[in-house]
Amino acid sequence: MVSFDASESLTPFREGSGYGAILFDRKHLRQAEPDWFDPGKWGERARPVDSGGRGGAWFVDAPSSQCVLRKYRRGGLAARFSRDRYLWHGSDRTRSFAEFRLTRALLSRGLPVPRPVAASYVREGMFYRAAILIERLVGVRSLGDLLRAEDAPPPWEATGRLIARFHRAGLDHADLNAHNILFDAEGKGWLIDFDRSALRIPATHWRERNLSRLKRSLMKLRGARSEEQVRYDFALLRRAYDAAWSRGY
């Protein structure tokens, strides 16, 4: 777990029968309000994100900057019981606070990630709901979108080097898929969405797990491309990754 930072500010609030708190960086915000995490508050300034995810993200024009508002949603079998409630284990272990602090830690290490703006939770009894605001990266496309583009081939080697850089820093990405890898028109890359991710001592087993998850994502998004073509493209990515890793990049 990433420890508390002196530049963090914590604002408690009440919401109906529950209570919550907002965590934000006071160097970049004077204050953050609870209704910032409600897409209805933004009206027409909230536009659904339609690439990847579980339908719980919006582009919003926040007072600080253009942002992505993301509500934490469950997937798989757990979603049948509750789409957005999680068992309470303390504020520091909420999904939103943990991702906010991890993203700040990655940013402080000079890694290409979007700046976290604010994170919140609302607790009711044994359960809580959570949301996070992240600065929007403008003019970027995901690797998943680039797979369908006809103007240029996906940047496989750059993707491999990008992942190696994060792995060398110790990031175990819990959901490394083609939607969470972004590139701009100049070829600069970013990683996003660090929910349930963690900083660890670099080790083979979790690095391989990350790469295997990405390969499955590419297979799922292959469209009319053959599995053989996907394996060929992934081999380009993997060679670049291994070369960067061996150089200590």
Determine the residue type at 112.
Answer: P
**Active-site hit among 5, 35, 172, 175:** 175
C-alpha 235: how far from chain center: 25
How far apart CA 33 and CA 108 sit, in angstroms, is 25
In this structure, the number of other CB atoms found within 10 A of the CB of residue 59 comes to: 19
Q: What is the gyration radius of the CA atoms in the chain, in angstroms?
A: 19
Pair 178, 193: CB distance under 8 Å: no
- Reply yes or no on whether 61 is catalytic: no
Specify the residue for token string 């900083």.
Answer: 199
Q: Letter for the amino acid at 31?
A: Q
Query: Could you identify the residue written with the tokens 């609030």?
Result: 13
Positions marked catalytic: 175
